[in-house]
C-alpha cells in the first residue's frame, strides 16, 4: 500500500502572488507578526497546542519580509529559485 500524494507538493514549484489585506485589523496582525518574528518565537501546532516547532532562520526571514510588505500594503510574490549548490 503506497503513501497518499501530498496535496501541497506542487506548491514548491509554483509562483504565487499574495495581495495585501483590505481589512485594517489584518494589517495590524501582520505588523504584530513581523515584530514577533524579528525577536524569534516558537509556534504551537496541533489540536491541543502541545507540540512545538522552532522555525528555521531562513523561514523566519521569508515570513518577516512577507509580513512587513503585506502590512505596508504591498503584494508579495513567492517564487522558488534553483537549489544552491
**pLDDT of the residue at 10:** 56
Q: What is the pTM of this model?
A: 0.70
Strands, E assignment, 2-66: 16-18, 42-45, 51-54
Question: Is 8 contained in some domain?
Answer: no
**pLDDT of the residue at 37:** 81
Question: Is 6 contained in some domain?
Answer: no
**pLDDT of the residue at 1:** 47
63: containing domain: 17-38+53-78
The total of structural domains in the chain comes to 1
Question: Is 5 contained in some domain?
Answer: no
Q: What is the pLDDT along the chain (85 residues), one digit of tens a residue?
A: 455 555 555 556 688 999 999 999 999 999 988 888 877 666 655 566 666 667 777 888 888 899 999 999 999 998 888 777 7
Question: Is 23 contained in some domain?
Answer: yes
Q: Which three cell numbers stand for residue 66?
A: 512577507
Please say whether the beta carbons of 13 and 80 come within 8 A.
yes
Amino acid at each position: 500500500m503506497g503513501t497518499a500524494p501530498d496535496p501541497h507538493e506542487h506548491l514548491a514549484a509554483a509562483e504565487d502572488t499574495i495581495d495585501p489585506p483590505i481589512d485594517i485589523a489584518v494589517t495590524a496582525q501582520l505588523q504584530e507578526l513581523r515584530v514577533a518574528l524579528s525577536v524569534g518565537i516558537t509556534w504551537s501546532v496541533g489540536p491541543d497546542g502541545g507540540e512545538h516547532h522552532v522555525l528555521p532562520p531562513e523561514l523566519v526571514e521569508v515570513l518577516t519580509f512577507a509580513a512587513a510588505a503585506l502590512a505596508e500594503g504591498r503584494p508579495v510574490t513567492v517564487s522558488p529559485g534553483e537549489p544552491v549548490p
